[in-house]
A = this chain, B = another copy of it.
């Protein structure tokens, strides 16, 4: 942390701030430049609330040199984290392909989709039982019944199940019954939920909030990891920008950036980011080419009659063709599918 002082700061002012910093446990290196005067803080700056320094009239601004996240920071953990789910892994050489319907709608629908994505090579089954919808008047998911259907689908196909949690009330059931617990974009900063998930040891798929910076995503991962659960998988799913042709703008540069800053695995959701089924295929390919550890894709056997987000789902046949193309791309990346 570097405190930039105005050059007209008096010695009295500067000493007051230096004393305060020293009391907070840091050393100060001073550099007087032509326009500004710098106080470089050396030591553990994590506990210093920068905001309490900006209140001084002579402080021009505070500059942060260090990432506020630790457990998710590659600086302190150079090797890639590989999250294990039964005998499967996310973050390893083999890409994690998670596929399935937006919402679980019925046993027939779920089994049909689950079997077809398995045949095409998907490694995990996704499906929403609790659906966070913008409107209270929209279909909110089958809830616990949906969870039961997912378990049946897992039994039939052997695919581990990935589903979203929206309430702390159901944590125990999710821990017991689900293989990967998804935290959706809207709950990325629901710290109460994150803290409680941090006390479990379940793999957590943490989606980037649609207006969260990469640093904030890592800080949310930190909330889970600080509680002791280091099984976190990150997911880029599009950010909100002024461009409205697509629902969100998929930020693919975030993938190599996250890989540089953090050791956690990171996957891409090409379905929710754009909201348009015909963009799923090109963006899924781009995600693999840019270095993602996997994909989460919506597949529906009858999107015209889907209860939710049919417009962003692809059909099983198209998914099957996509998997074949992805397999060639994976090879170039020295990975398998």
Contact = CB atoms under 8 A, between A and B. Distances in A.
A22 to B, nearest CB: 15
User: Which of A34, A287, A311 has the most C-beta atoms of chain B within 10 angstroms of its own C-beta?
Assistant: A311
A106 interface: no
Interface string A201-223: 00000000111011110010011
Contacts of A279: 253, 256-257
A55 B282 contact: no
Nearest to A287: B286
A213 B179 CA distance: 34
Given A169-B168, A191-B166, A211-B211, A36 B66 contact: yes
A138 B70 CA distance: 13
A257 B252 contact: no
Interface stretch (A89-97, A121-129, A154-162, A302-310): A302-310
A213 B240 CA distance: 10
A278 B252 contact: no
User: Which of A52, A135, A244, A310 has the most C-beta atoms of chain B within 10 angstroms of its own C-beta?
Assistant: A52
A199 B275 CA distance: 32
A52 B303 contact: yes
